């Protein structure tokens, strides 16, 4: 066995996925410097050479993202058809669930298929503890009978230069609004996001204000990375056109962790739908308000507290809604939160009035969770 880990990561185009990989590598560098890191794309099958590299390593580590999904063996972690071909421990690090409604009761009978369960059995029986990024994921796994997991938070929470450092009250000169993705399928969420942006632009009319795209606006880059539908790409570009019509600046930070890091370092307040914009801002003890458009966002509130507002009141996922969604082109499964614009502004004012207590508490919670992350990293082979 060579003194190395092989890690599987999922960064294609979304800036947040690159941040997960970047921060995970930083953690290994600082806390497991005895191991070299070899990085493979999680969605690619192992050829003979890759399998040999894996089996000559100390462990295969599956890192981050909403990777705990039904069909994850086919969609996220192809690896090999036969998991027994992998002779070293398979360990998860900071993996998260994916649920649109994001309700706690969704964790009790979380949908996974037979191949997914086989992977979790191999991970659970590896002889080592694995980690997940939030308590919703932890409960989903435990209700499947897998208890060899810790809640460490996402690797992206941890910038070692800020662990244990005091939160400094911000002077707000630059505000960034991160755009979500639910508007692609939901007209009510698109309307809500546009209202949010206009309200925030008005609130900060004397400040620098920008809308941030975490996915590429360049159609060829987006399609080559995700193999996604033209609709997905076109919707982003149409939204950019609307911003142009409103004379609102925007920026595309897709494609690398450095793009995300270098951009948000210049931001004093983040408002919006991107979970890893929120995670990054909190990792630097900066002011951030996350708007939930799915369970990934909702779950962060249990992990670090802070300010997480509901972007929707209800997601309709009953049988009738599923049928209507297939039959009707414009059927909307979301009931968006019509009170959100007021709620965003009220929370900004309130946080300032209490000297940013919730942001300070988030800083402390990240520091506390870091102790669990260190426990996880220390026990790795």
79 is a domain residue: yes
Characterize 287-321 residue by residue with b for buried, 16 or more Cβ atoms within 10 angstroms of its Cβ, and e for exposed: bbbbbbbbbbbbbbbbbbbbbbbbbbeebeeeeee
Do 373 and 347 share a domain, yes or no?
no
Residues 145 and 23 placed together within one structural domain of the fold: yes
pLDDT in tens, 18-33: 999 999 999 999 999 9
Residue at 162 is within a domain: no
Count of structural domains, the chain:
2
- Residue 178 in any domain: the answer is yes
Same structural domain, 349 and 372: no
Q: Are 147 and 192 in the same domain?
A: no
- Burial of 218 from C-beta contacts in 10 A (0-12 / 13-18 / 19+): middle
> 184 and 123 share a domain?
no
Calculate mean pLDDT across residues 291-299.
Answer: 96
Cβ contacts of 256 within 8 Å, gap of 6 or more: 15, 18
Q: Residue 322 has what pLDDT?
A: 61
Backbone angles phi, psi at 100, to 5 degrees: -70, -50
Could you tell me the CATH number of the domain that includes residue 25? 3.40.50
> Are residue 148 and residue 190 in the same domain, yes or no?
no
202 and 340 belong to one structural domain? yes
- Report pLDDT for 225: 47
Residue showing tokens 């497991």 = 32
Higher pLDDT, 221 or 124: 124
Residue 164 falls inside a structural domain:
no
Looking at residue 166, what is its pLDDT? 84
Rounded distance between C-alpha atoms, residue 180 and residue 214, angstroms:
9
Q: Which domain holds residue 319?
A: 174-366
β-pairing, 334-336 vs 312-315, is antiparallel
What pLDDT, in 10s, does the model give residues 338-352? 999 999 999 999 999
Range scoring the smallest mean pLDDT among 2-16, 217-231, 276-290: 217-231
Same domain, 147 and 228: no
Instruction: Write the pLDDT tens digit of every residue in 173-222.
Output: 999 999 999 999 899 999 999 999 999 999 999 999 999 999 889 765 55
Question: pLDDT tens, 242-268?
Answer: 999 999 999 999 988 999 999 999 999
- Per the CB < 8 A criterion, the answer to whether 258 and 207 are in contact is no
Same domain, 39 and 135: yes
Residue 300 covered by a domain? yes
Task: Return the pLDDT at 233.
Answer: 67
Which residue carries 């890192």 as its tokens? 63
Q: What is each CA distance from 52 to 85, 111, 127, 219, 241, in whole angstroms?
A: 10, 33, 21, 37, 49
User: Domain check: are 144 and 202 in the same one?
Assistant: no
Strands 59-63, 130-132: pairing kind:
unpaired
**Residue 132 bridge partners (DSSP):** 95, 151
Q: Give ∠ CA 192-263-357 in degrees, rounded to 5.
A: 70
**CA 366 – CA 8 distance, rounded (Å):** 24
Q: Is there a domain that residue 168 lies in?
A: no
HEC per residue, the chain: CCCEEEEEECCCCCHHHHHHHHHHHHHHHHHCCCCEEEEEECCCECCHHHHHHHHCCCEEEEECCCCECCCHHHHCCCECCCHHHCCCCEEEECECECCCCCCHHHHCCCCCCHHHHHHHHHHHCCCCCEEECCHHHHHHHHCCCCCCEEECCCHHHCCCCCCCCCCCCCCCCEEEEECCCHHHCCHHHHHHHHHHHHHHHHHCCCCEEEEEECCCCCHHHHHHHHCCCHHHHHHHHHHHHHHHHCCCEEEECCCCHHHHHHHHCCCCEEEECCHHHHHHHHHCCCEEEEEECCHHHHHHHHHHCCEEEECEEEECCCHHHHHHHHHCCCCCCEEECCCHHHHHHHHHHHHHHCCCHHHHHHHHHHHHHHHHHHHHHHCCC
**Residue 163 belongs to some domain of the structure:** no
């Amino acid at each position: 066995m060579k003194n190395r880990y092989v890690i599987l990561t999922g960064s294609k185009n979304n800036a947040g996925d690159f941040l997960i990989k970047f921060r995970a590598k930083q953690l290994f560098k600082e806390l497991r410097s005895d191991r070299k890191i070899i990085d493979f794309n999680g969605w690619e099958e192992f050829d003979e050479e890759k399998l040999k590299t894996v089996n000559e390593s100390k462990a295969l580590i599956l890192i981050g993202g909403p990777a705990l999904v039904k069909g994850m063996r086919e969609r996220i972690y192809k690896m090999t058809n036969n998991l027994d071909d992998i002779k070293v421990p398979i360990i998860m690090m900071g993996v998260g669930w994916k649920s649109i409604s994001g309700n706690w009761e969704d964790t009790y009978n979380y949908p996974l298929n037979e191949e997914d369960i086989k992977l979790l059995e191999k991970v659970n029986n590896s002889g080592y503890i694995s980690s997940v990024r939030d308590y919703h994921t932890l409960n989903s796994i435990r209700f499947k009978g897998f208890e060899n997991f810790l809640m460490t938070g996402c690797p992206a929470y941890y910038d070692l230069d800020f662990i244990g450092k005091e939160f400094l009250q911000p002077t707000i000169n630059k505000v960034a609004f991160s755009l979500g993705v639910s508007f692609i399928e939901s007209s009510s969420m698109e309307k809500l996001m546009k209202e949010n942006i206009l309200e925030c632009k008005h609130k900060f009319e004397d400040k620098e204000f920008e809308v941030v795209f975490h996915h590429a606006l360049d159609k060829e880059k987006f399609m080559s990375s995700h193999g996604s539908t033209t609709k997905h790409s076109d919707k982003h570009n149409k939204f950019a056109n609307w911003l142009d019509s409103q004379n609102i600046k925007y920026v595309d930070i897709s494609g690398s962790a450095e793009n995300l890091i270098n951009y948000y370092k210049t931001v004093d307040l983040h408002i919006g739908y991107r979970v890893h914009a929120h995670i990054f801002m909190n990792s630097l003890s900066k002011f951030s308000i996350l708007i939930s458009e799915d369970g990934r966002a909702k779950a962060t509130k249990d992990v670090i507290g802070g300010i997480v507002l509901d972007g929707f009141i209800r997601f309709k996922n009953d049988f009738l809604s599923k049928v209507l969604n297939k039959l009707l082109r414009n059927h909307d499964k979301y009931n968006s939160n019509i009170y959100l614009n007021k709620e965003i502004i009220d929370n900004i004012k309130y946080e300032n009035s209490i000297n940013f207590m919730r942001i300070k508490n988030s800083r402390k919670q990240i520091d506390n969770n870091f102790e669990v992350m260190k426990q996880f990293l220390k026990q790795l082979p």
